Amino acid sequence: MAAVKRYLRLHLSNLFGALARALQQPTGTLLTVLVIAIALALPAGLRVFVNNAGALSQGWEGAADFTVYLDLGIDEARARELADDIAARADVAETTLISRNEALEEFRAQSGFGEALDALEENPLPHTLVVRPAAADVGAIEKLALDLDALEATALVQIDTEWVARLQSILRLIARVVDIATVLLGLAVVLVIGNTIRLEINNRRGEIEVCKLVGGSDGFIRRPFLYLGFCYGLAGAVAAAVMIFVALVLIRPPVRALAELYASSYTLAGLSGRETLVLLGGGAALGWIGAWLAAARHLRQIEPS
Amino acid sequence: MIRFENVYKRYTNGREALSGISFNMEPGEMAFLTGPSGAGKSTLLKLIALIERPTRGSVLVNKRNTSRVSRRQIPRFRQRIGVVFQDHKLLYDRSVFANVALPLVIAGLGTRETGRRVRAALDQVGLLGRESHAPITLSTGEQQRVGIARAVASRPDVVIADEPTGNLDPDLSLDIMRLFERFNDVGVTLLIATHDLELIDRLRHRRIRLVGGQIVPDTDRPPSLSQAP
């Protein structure tokens, strides 16, 4: 118990020591933290953008609906039966039957050809099923389209998956680019913190020598630097989260104005709680790793003489 | 306690600092290491603290052969040795207390025990009550005493000192040496490098005299002027 307490006290004193040391040089610390923050805010911000684009494309999934025109010979009862059958499929979210009478009424109301239609003896429109697929991926949608086309009662299946496919591949491409940017900028954070810690080690060369002379182990000497790296990384991540928050506050009103033009209630989503935790944890971990690499490399070179 | 067996030390630049050094110090012994500058005094002390390793021969400290101490084991090994420097090597960004406590914190002592030992060490060097001072506000002699308090705080078996009085006037130097004698009285083995022969003439202790990297005979109480470098 006493050992645990001593251990915790040692680590806490290292943590506060690192904080005090960072605050002793406010300008340098601020600049370092800002560089780290920008390096973290870029990939995190891009991810927010991709998330929003993904959510937006979900909102447009109605555009991937099929329109299944049935043979003119099919009566309404049979059409209703078919609609129920299709709706029961696992890959179908929803099926709506538009009967030929409804279709005619709608056409009459919207097209302005009312009188011309009256001249027709018979309703030229077939029963129509609007099928909304359950899955968003292109393969499943295409299979569903083939199945529907194969039905005996089907006259024509109208589907436009191409632009959905395009949008999805673009999003996948962007997501991949964001992944690569995340790795590269994470590496940049490690290097920035590693370099800062290297300078700090050089500044404290005398202190390190004394610690080694009185029997300080590598771990003991390394620990304050690891905490310093940890603090830099965490502070950078907090600053990055604030940057993203401010950017979203600035972007939200024009996005809302744009969405209103499209009669949409779409609003931008920010970082979720989980994403914020990943950002903060990732920043702290990168700081720790950068400090560890610098410490492993440079502390060994300092020996009392 | 300290034993050198035919020790050679050649630096990478080719200079041979020590050539065939052999001597033995019993536990509780106090000795002065004398000789002109460049005779190898500092090198000899560095071999004891494992700051350097011998090129040939063996150095035993507390019956432990230093050649068998791996790099990883050096910290623990050094915790049993107190080292005093001419330039004190204090940490000027922390208090006197923190400086003296450093080896104890490293050794993992609890707060209460650390405080007790730091105060005991400062009391022994006559600086009790100055714990919260910054080292820079102390005189050179006082700073050296803080350095000594740090060296003895963890109650090491061996204390080595490299020119501990190099920057001090004669009166202060004698004070420091008397302080070392008091630690010797309680059983600490001490090896003190100095070229201040006038000073050590006033003290009765063994001398190990180095010239050109070799031990040369030294009579027990030589006339000081003939020994001056």
Residues on chain A touching B106 (C-beta within 8 angstroms): 211, 214-217, 220
Find the domain containing B32 and state its range.
1-80+190-229
**C-alpha distances in angstroms, A142 versus A63, A145, A168?**
14, 5, 15
Do the chains contact at B103 and A215, CB–CB below 8 Å? yes
pLDDT at A58 > cutoff 80 = no
The 3-state secondary structure of A187-232 reads HHHHHHHHHHHHHHHHHCHHHHHHHHHCCCCHHHHHHHHHHHHHHH
- Among B35, B46, B105, B117, CA closest to B81: B46
Please count the structural domains in chain B: 1
Span A270-276, mean pLDDT?
90
Per the domain annotation, does B114 fall within a domain?
no
CATH number of the domain to which B196 belongs:
3.40.50.300
Q: What percent of chain A has pLDDT over 90?
A: 34
Cβ contacts of B43 within 8 Å, gap of 6 or more: B9, B17, B18, B52
| Residue B226 banded pLDDT, cuts 50, 70, 90 | very low
| Shortest Cα distance, chain B CAs vs residue A219, angstroms | 10
Per the domain annotation, does B70 fall within a domain?
yes
pLDDT at A64 > cutoff 70 = no
The more confident residue out of A65 and A301 is A301
Per the domain annotation, does B105 fall within a domain?
no
Distance of alpha carbon A260 from alpha carbon A252, whole angstroms = 12
pLDDT at A305 > cutoff 60 = yes
pTM summary value: 0.74
- Among A243, A281, A185, A264, CA closest to A48: A243
Do the chains contact at B106 and A218, CB–CB below 8 Å? no
Per the domain annotation, does B133 fall within a domain?
no
Interface of A with B in 198-257 (CB under 8 A): 206-207, 209-218, 220
pLDDT of residue B227: 43
A8 CB within 8 Å of a chain B CB? no
Hey, is A46 helix, strand or coil? Answer: helix
Per the domain annotation, does B162 fall within a domain?
no
Per the domain annotation, does B35 fall within a domain?
yes
Mean pLDDT of chain B, nearest integer: 89
- The ipTM of this complex is 0.85
Do the chains contact at A212 and B103, CB–CB below 8 Å? no
pLDDT of residue B228: 41
| Shortest Cα distance, chain A CAs vs residue B7, angstroms | 19
Per the domain annotation, does B12 fall within a domain?
yes
| Residue B219 banded pLDDT, cuts 50, 70, 90 | low
pLDDT of residue A62: 47
Q: Beta strand pairing status for B158-162 and B81-84?
A: parallel
Do the chains contact at A211 and B102, CB–CB below 8 Å? yes
pLDDT of residue A45: 92
Interface of B with A in 71-90 (CB under 8 A): 72, 75-80, 83, 89-90
| Residue B55 banded pLDDT, cuts 50, 70, 90 | very high
Edge-to-edge strands, sheet with B158-162: B81-84, B158-162, B189-193, B30-34, B206-211, B214-216
Residue pLDDT, tens place only, B78-112: 999 999 988 889 999 889 999 999 999 998 888 89
Per the domain annotation, does B41 fall within a domain?
yes
Residues on chain B touching A217 (C-beta within 8 angstroms): 75-76, 106
Residue pLDDT, tens place only, A163-217: 767 877 888 898 899 999 999 999 999 999 999 999 999 988 988 999 999 999 9
Residue in A207, A215, A305 nearest the CB of B75 = A215
pLDDT at A34 > cutoff 60 = yes
Span A74-83, mean pLDDT?
84
Hey, is B88 helix, strand or coil? Answer: coil
pLDDT of residue A138: 65
Residue in A6, A207, A217 nearest the CB of B75 = A217
pLDDT of residue A268: 83
Hey, is A269 helix, strand or coil? Answer: coil
Place of tokens 């744009």: A258
Residues on chain A touching B79 (C-beta within 8 angstroms): 214-215
Least confident range from A76-80, A244-248, B207-211: namely A76-80
Least confident range from A26-30, A42-46, A64-68, A246-250: namely A64-68
